[in-house]
Chains A and B, each alone.
Chain A
Amino acid sequence: MSIMEIIGSVLILIGSIFLFLGGLGIYRMPDIYNRLQAGTKATTLGAMSLILGVGFLEPSWMLKSLIIIIFIAFSNPISSHALARANYKRKHFPLILSEDKKNMDAYREVIEQEDKEDKS
């Protein structure tokens, strides 16, 4: 077993652990924002690590896997940003268990200000 194969296998293992944790996060988290952050962060890094591992196992695919990694680094955060933003604009506010509700959700004030401007 060469050094490249060991590196590739370790990267694939790390990636699958991240993907598993992302799936667990989507199942366990209470509201959409927590689910989105669990899903996006874990699956972005997990998929990147997994594909990089494949590139190490098959060195001739390295360039292709790097391109795929760049694509994932672009598309995954953008799509989850769009989801979270659309959700917030439709007034599904995040679940806050703390008493200090005002200071934990600064974006709500912006939205309420925009609503007032729209009505006036």
Chain B
Amino acid sequence: MQNKSIAQMAAELRLRTYSSVELTRHYLERIARLDPRLNSFISVASESALAAAERADRAIASGDAGPLAGIPIAHKDIFCTAGIKTSCGSRMLDNFVAPYDATVVERLAAAGAVVLGKTNMDEFAMGSSNETSFYGPVHNPWDADRVPGGSSGGSAAAVAARLCAAATGTDTGGSIRQPAALCGITGIKPTYGRCSRWGMIAFASSLDQAGVLARSAADAACLLDEMAGFDPRDSTSADVAVPDYVDALDDDIAGLRIGLPKEYFGEGLDPRVAASVQDAIKEYERLGAKVKEISLPNSPLSVPVYYVVAPAECSSNLARFDGVRYGHRCENPKDLEDLYKRSRAEGFGAEVQRRIMIGTYVLSAGYYDAYYLKAQQIRQLIAADFARAFEEVDVIMGPTAPTTAFPLGAKMDDPVAMYLNDIYTIATNLAGLPGMSIPVEPVEGLPVGLQIIGNAFQEARLLNVAHRFQHVTHWHQGAPSGFE
């Protein structure tokens, strides 16, 4: 049952082959049985899930069911959910139940989706391995000793292990695409402004974007169709028409112009990963695409730029966590400063504190120009590289991550080494562009992701390009052993 596509599930639910309650129970049973190996969920909401499933079954029976009626999904624990704890992977919010739903949560609920629970993540989405979570690391379903990637590591592992039909995620520097690659699933980070950020706990406001982790581009399209669109509550939400992503999946891609940035195939890329990615690109050529080498000369600077911009924004975004109105508050503060400092030091883990400090430093008097302003200028150059490239190609392809999943603990003592994991994904966030990762041929049993980058608001094209590949290959169908 858990290997069916969302379209198939939706059809069978409508045919009453099984009910949403049965489907939901099936997933809840899998979570109870299998998740102890993965730790991919922070909260499992059995009761509310079954209630939602019952509602979906009734809606289906009465013929007014939404497109995702009865489909069990999971939300990254960064999306506020009224009634279910929203921790953001942090001790700071271990006691936080939001008084509202995020727009993305609201829209998926309105489409009839059933929420099984909230998935584990790097604390406040800061990490590339899901090891910074207050709730412990998530294990990669393909090899429990390895990381699932991050920060949407819980969503990626849960989808790969078939503990939910699909899951939401957020991507600030690669947090959907990199874990999707490392867990062998499909992930899409839409254009900045495509999905509302309302109710999505902010890490870096000019980079954060909600997206989907799913087992296929077709499944991702089903969710994105519901999630995407203008939201008056988010000033940075784009008022741009949303095409039907499912409708566009089967469009012909003959003549597709693919650009391969030479900077994405250089030093630091595991040659086995490179080979796997090149094979996938050959498959595209067989599908009629034309490939050319391009250059994104400033892209190597995306990691340094990101580690100024993202911490700067996060240092300000996370200032609201002060122990006064919600969240963790230290015991017996002796004065106001003690309340602030201990509540925050106890509530935030080491990586979050590192980034807050870096961000505080780069914005402080005397350093703003050299760091923040300089980074914003290079960000402009990086965006200009993409703009130039998209004058001559339709999509850009390359590896999602330089290596396959690395062992748990391998990079925890070296933040900079950890940061370099996102070297191929960060530039798209800086430029606000959509990106995807789809599974290609694994290396020694470990998944590899092909990244597909599009121009702004070209999600339909990306999903179509990914779907045509998945139509002729089977890499996306592989299930990790023990989770089939």
Whether A and B are associated in the same complex: the answer reads no
Residues in A lying within 8 Å of B, measured CB to CB: none
